[in-house]
A and B are shown apart, each in its own frame.
Chain A
Amino acid sequence: MVFNWFKRKKNEVNYPDFWLEYLNTFKSKKRGIIQETRFVAFDTETTGFDSKTDRILSIGAVSITGKTIQVNQSLEIYIEQDVFKPETVKIHGLLKKGSLQKITEIEAIKLFLDYIKDAVLVAHHAGFDKKMVNEMLIRNGLDKLKNRFIDTGILYNKSKHIIYRDNLKEHYSLDDLSDELNVTKEDRHTASGDALITAMVFLKILARLDKRKNLKWGYLLGR
């Protein structure tokens, strides 16, 4: 244990400033009141589903504080990648050489970390986005994300009363949830569009939770 601790310490010294700044945002350990907490709903568009070989093409994120989303506080980045899979273009619509202004992976990481800070991250099927981002971080000599995650798919399942659970699907797509919760689907399959839809889905699920019993961190974060 001691050895490991030393090793990490040694590594940290080599981390770039922006990573250390990111870590710094986690210094205050206290979990605040849910209503005042900053949540960041995000989504990634990728070249495929393999976290090792596939790459992130775009990240979209919006931040939520107290049921409000500030449009000027959203993040939308497009990343230059060498990996390109023509067959996925029909889903995300991102071309290898499109007219969109693209940035390098490391630039994207800087912007993303500076944006999310210590916010609680919200994503639909969060596991996938988490893995993709973590792989990207490690590939660039950094460590995994430190943020806490909420998966809207799982949260939705939990929000349903026990008597309806039998009818629930194992897997709810973002489309299923938007239909179910009456969220307008605009710009579906773009990172920003999906991030906003995820944010709305998240807010609507929160509203449906039992205010006294379930609006607690343990419930939101646990599986």
Chain B
Amino acid sequence: MKNSIAERVADFFNKYPPFNMINTSDLLKIASEVNIMYLEKGDTVFNQGDHFNEHFYMVRDGAITLHYNLNGVEKNLNINDVGDVFGVRPLIAKENYKLTATANEESIVYAVPIAIFQSVTDNNAKVYKYLITAFATNAYDPYTAEENAEVFVDYIPTTSNDIVNFQTAEYTKNPVTCKENTIIRDAAIKMSTLKIGCIIVTNSKKHPVGMITNSDIKNKIATGKFPIETVVTDIMTSPVITSKPDITVADGQLQMIKNSIGHLCITKDGTTNSEAIGILTHHDVLVTLGNNPSVILKEIKRANRTKKLRTARLKANTLLKSYLEQNIPISHIVKIMAQINDAVTHKAIEIAVSKMATEPPVSFAWLALGSQGRREQLLFTDQDNALIFEDVPEADYEKTKTYFLELAKRVTERLNKIGFEYCEADMMASNPEWCKSVSEWQEQFKNWILEPDEKAVLLSSIFFDYSYIYGNDTLVDTLTDTIFETIDQTSLFFKYLGRDAIKSPSPVGFFKQFLVEQNGEQKDLFNIKNRALMPLIDSARLLVLINKVKGINNTAERYEKMAELEPENKELYHSCSYAFKALSKFKARQGLLHKNSGKFIELESLTKEEKLKLRRCFKPINEIQETLKFKFDLKNFG
């Protein structure tokens, strides 16, 4: 019998991974068995500690928050949007839910029966890989939080068509072993001399009976739980998780995630009843995967020429694309990209310094400004930077400044070669105006704060979001302290910033239409940066400045911090943080699609879902602007 509803469900599935990797007839089979769940705001799909369900879930409409309770404190992990998959734990590990899934708003969720899904996707490695990623992304294990953070970073496969995952993993052959009656000290000495992180305990037949890792020694010996003369069998992890020699990288990943371990023992027949012949470590998996943050970062650190830096940075763009394709949370992507951008800049400066004829005359610090300073730069954008050098006697000033200007020029040239465009407004350390001594900078900021005018406010939006990249960080701290001291002396500055933050009206017009650009080359395009991102960025900056929050530059994190400081406005701040992340993701996707900064969005090219999603992000913008208006009494401040 025809089932039109199943067909529509299949149509929807087909738009999103992993379902878009499944053929149409199989998709229809799955869709016919789906449950459509309606959830009111606050309804839960499953609770932390619940026995696993026979379904996993996909958001059809609305948004589902994943959160967990740690020692009585609720923590949000992620918000799943239309098309996002969640609750996949039972697909991978048959254990109770570690998270609670709650409707963030009125939502519709498709519950996909696992049995049917598995029967259909049995051998579809791509599908499985996606789900592992989704799982790793939303996974949280309070007891191995540290290791999990690592899993989180590293278990994200590269691109969806990357075949490397299905290669046989390169494991270490001839693993280091010890006998069951070995004393821990001896095992540790062996590990230490051979510089290895794990040793396999074998019985007389060379079958693995247990494993000891660095963390076992840390947790069980160094803490004094067991004496150092104890035999290895007392503290080893047993039984050993084993695998056959022909294990693929993807399987290796899966095993490690499933069992929360970093080492897999390879045995002749894949069971513990045969000889241990090798060991597959987390690191091995990483190396095989190649295009992942750790490897890129290593490549950057090793680079000795600008050209190599450029190659490494370009790899990061590929990585970014695959992350966006796989719906990895934006906060995570941003962190990785910031780390990579900082490392590239750091290295570029290092190279430039080494190529100068002489050592720097005094210490200096390199600051990233604007979006890089806020750690929000996803794509290559303009470089905004500044340089602070230590105060010198007046006689040496000219000489010192000339040196640093020359250095800055070389750095910006290198950054340009790597792919960061020169700043149009020339807000770069190579400009004499933005290459100054500490006391000059202190004066400059005091001036902006105490005598605000249009220009000061414009500049502050770039200069107040600085972050330290290279050199002497105490110079930066000095500057920060001055800023916070000066801010106490005035309230006028805040009013100026506040006015700036509310100057762009809410992006949705009276008739729920998007406000598009009225003229110029960008006519009819939606300027996501000016209309949506900037108001959020400006408001966040103002809020943290007034609350004297130091060291948090990222807009989303600033709102999270505000939620902590003002629990009464928690919901608003959380939704601002969320909106900001969603909008950034939008911009990055558009940017990759059109190979530009993603600033202008062609509304026509968006699907209805995307438009709705976009529009939903605008509500908090409006609300935060209203709040600022009230807080800073801006109504009559023209």
Tell me the residues in window 171-223 of chain A with beta carbons closer than 8 Å to chain B beta carbons: 182, 184, 186-187, 190, 192-193, 196, 200, 203-204, 207
B35 CB contact (under 8 Å) in A69, A78, A200: A69
In Å, the complex CA distance between A74 and B9 comes to 13
In Å, the complex CA distance between A60 and B4 comes to 9
In Å, the complex CA distance between A190 and B2 comes to 12
Check B4–A71 contact: CB distance below 8 A.
no
Interface centre among B1, B4, B35, B61 (most CB of A within 10 A): B4
Specify the chain A residue showing the minimal Cβ separation from B11.
A186
Least CB distance from A167 to B in Å reads 18
B8 in the interface, Cβ–Cβ < 8 Å?
yes
B36: A residues at CB distance < 8 A: 68-71, 196
Tell me the residues in window 94-146 of chain B with beta carbons closer than 8 Å to chain A beta carbons: 106, 108, 111
B5 in the interface, Cβ–Cβ < 8 Å?
yes
Check B38–A204 contact: CB distance below 8 A.
yes
Check B5–A192 contact: CB distance below 8 A.
yes
B626 in the interface, Cβ–Cβ < 8 Å?
no
B6 in the interface, Cβ–Cβ < 8 Å?
yes
Specify the chain A residue showing the minimal Cβ separation from B110.
A71
A68 CB contact (under 8 Å) in B4, B9, B32, B37: B37
Interface residues contributed by chain A, number (CB under 8 Å): 26
A193 CB contact (under 8 Å) in B1, B2, B4: B4
A187: B residues at CB distance < 8 A: 4, 8
A68: B residues at CB distance < 8 A: 35-38, 111
Check A72–B33 contact: CB distance below 8 A.
yes
A92 in the interface, Cβ–Cβ < 8 Å?
no
A94 in the interface, Cβ–Cβ < 8 Å?
no
Tell me the residues in window 59-83 of chain B with beta carbons closer than 8 Å to chain A beta carbons: 61
Interface membership of chain B positions 32-50, coded 1 if the CB is closer than 8 angstroms to chain A and 0 otherwise:
1111111110010000000
Interface of A is mostly: mixed
Least CB distance from A166 to B in Å reads 23
B40 CB contact (under 8 Å) in A76, A78, A207: A207
Tell me the residues in window 1-35 of chain B with beta carbons closer than 8 Å to chain A beta carbons: 1-6, 8-9, 31-35
Q: A71-B31, A72-B32 are in contact. Are A62 and B5 (CB under 8 A)?
A: yes
A125 in the interface, Cβ–Cβ < 8 Å?
no
A70: B residues at CB distance < 8 A: 35-36
Least CB distance from A87 to B in Å reads 23
Check B38–A200 contact: CB distance below 8 A.
yes
Check A190–B4 contact: CB distance below 8 A.
yes
Check A71–B34 contact: CB distance below 8 A.
yes
A100 in the interface, Cβ–Cβ < 8 Å?
yes
Interface residues on B, range: 20 to 34
Least CB distance from B362 to A in Å reads 62
Least CB distance from A139 to B in Å reads 24
A101 in the interface, Cβ–Cβ < 8 Å?
yes
B3: A residues at CB distance < 8 A: 71-72, 74, 76, 192
Least CB distance from A6 to B in Å reads 41
In Å, the complex CA distance between A186 and B5 comes to 9
Interface membership of chain A positions 45-87, coded 1 if the CB is closer than 8 angstroms to chain B and 0 otherwise:
0000000000000001010000111111010111000000000
Specify the chain A residue showing the minimal Cβ separation from B60.
A184
Specify the chain A residue showing the minimal Cβ separation from B4.
A192
In Å, the complex CA distance between A62 and B35 comes to 11
Interface centre among A71, A78, A101 (most CB of B within 10 A): A71
In Å, the complex CA distance between A70 and B35 comes to 4
Check A200–B5 contact: CB distance below 8 A.
no
Q: A76-B4, A196-B5 are in contact. Are A71 and B108 (CB under 8 A)?
A: no
In Å, the complex CA distance between A62 and B5 comes to 9
In Å, the complex CA distance between A68 and B32 comes to 14
Check A101–B2 contact: CB distance below 8 A.
yes
A100: B residues at CB distance < 8 A: 2
In Å, the complex CA distance between A76 and B32 comes to 13
In Å, the complex CA distance between A207 and B34 comes to 22
B33: A residues at CB distance < 8 A: 71-72
Least CB distance from A17 to B in Å reads 22
In Å, the complex CA distance between A72 and B116 comes to 13
Least CB distance from B115 to A in Å reads 13
B2: A residues at CB distance < 8 A: 76, 78, 100-101
Specify the chain A residue showing the minimal Cβ separation from B1.
A76
B37: A residues at CB distance < 8 A: 67-69
Q: A67-B38, A71-B35 are in contact. Are A184 and B61 (CB under 8 A)?
A: yes
Interface membership of chain A positions 96-107, coded 1 if the CB is closer than 8 angstroms to chain B and 0 otherwise:
000011000000
Q: A184-B61, A186-B8 are in contact. Are A67 and B32 (CB under 8 A)?
A: no
In Å, the complex CA distance between A184 and B33 comes to 20
In Å, the complex CA distance between A186 and B4 comes to 10
In Å, the complex CA distance between A72 and B31 comes to 9
Check B4–A67 contact: CB distance below 8 A.
no
Specify the chain A residue showing the minimal Cβ separation from B608.
A184
In Å, the complex CA distance between A203 and B32 comes to 21
In Å, the complex CA distance between A74 and B6 comes to 9
B4: A residues at CB distance < 8 A: 60, 76, 187, 190, 192-193
A192: B residues at CB distance < 8 A: 3-5
Interface centre among B38, B43, B108, B111 (most CB of A within 10 A): B38
A182: B residues at CB distance < 8 A: 61, 106
In Å, the complex CA distance between A203 and B40 comes to 9
Specify the chain A residue showing the minimal Cβ separation from B43.
A67
Check B106–A207 contact: CB distance below 8 A.
yes
Least CB distance from A104 to B in Å reads 15
Known: A62-B5, A67-B38. 11 other contacts (CB 8 A): A60-B4, A69-B35, A70-B35, A71-B32, A71-B35, A74-B6, A76-B1, A76-B5, A101-B1, A193-B4, A196-B36
| 14 A-B interface contacts by CB (under 8 A) | A60-B4, A62-B5, A68-B36, A68-B37, A68-B111, A69-B36, A72-B32, A76-B1, A78-B2, A101-B1, A192-B4, A207-B38, A207-B40, A207-B106
Which 10 residue pairs across A and B have the least CB separation, nearest first?
A69-B36, A192-B4, A203-B38, A207-B40, A67-B38, A71-B34, A186-B8, A68-B37, A68-B35, A70-B35
